Amino acid sequence: MSTPGYTAAEINRWERALTSVTKLTAVYPGTFDPMTLGHEDLMRRASRLFERLIVAVAAGHHKRTMFTIAERLDIATELAAKYPNIEVMAFRGLLRDFVIGHTAKVVVRGLRAVSDFEYEFQMAGMNRQLMPEVETVFLTPGDRYQFVSGTFVREIATLGGDVSKFVSPSVLSRLHQRVKTPEA
């Protein structure tokens, strides 16, 4: 079917341009120190829901981190490589500025337990005040990841415990190097 006055090539070009403009972009922000299997689970599931997912690794965050921003970016990039619609980027400052700067319409957050809900609900409300055109979507992790957190992983690893059930092999290797414990 052709439209009077326009060639098929022009119409196709406009359709491609409109599609690229209307791609639904979501941002999955976090410190990811380290990235756990729970983070990977949410990343995988969110990548199926959105045309483009940006994993936004927080730099200069108020938390003291075990891994540098460069290391956390490397880990996230390595783990996201199998998903063609995921990009990994660092961000500093307000999440609002990053989200709007990348024309995202959704912020993805994970909820592991009821204790997460109160904090995340307040954060979603504040984000709604700062960026009313952006929605927050909560995803719950798979059952085996409900109690996995970067904080727990760091603490267990630092004390010499086995965290192999909670992180990918490459993250496990980096943790062992960081805390100088023998690899299993």
Q: Which amino acid is at 176?
A: H
Per-residue pLDDT of the chain (184 residues), as tens digits, is 555 678 887 777 666 655 555 589 999 999 999 999 999 999 999 999 999 999 999 997 677 899 999 999 999 999 999 999 999 999 999 999 999 999 999 999 999 888 788 899 999 999 999 999 999 999 999 899 999 999 999 999 999 999 999 999 999 999 999 998 545 4
Within-domain flag for 87: yes
The pair of three-digit structure tokens given for residue 78, joined into one six-digit string: 């390595």
Q: Name the 3-class secondary structure at 104.
A: coil
Within-domain flag for 45: yes
- Residues 13 and 6: their CA atoms lie apart, in Å, by 11
The pair of three-digit structure tokens given for residue 6, joined into one six-digit string: 């326009």
Per-residue confidence (pLDDT) for residue 15, from 0 to 100: 66
Domain that holds residue 77: 24-146
The pair of three-digit structure tokens given for residue 167, joined into one six-digit string: 């992180």
Within-domain flag for 180: no
Residue pair 109/138 in contact (Cβ under 8 Å)? The answer is yes
Per-residue confidence (pLDDT) for residue 1, from 0 to 100: 52
The pair of three-digit structure tokens given for residue 123, joined into one six-digit string: 């954060």
Number of domains in the chain: 1
Q: What is the CATH number of the domain that holds 52?
A: 3.40.50.620
Q: Is the pTM of this model over 0.85?
A: no
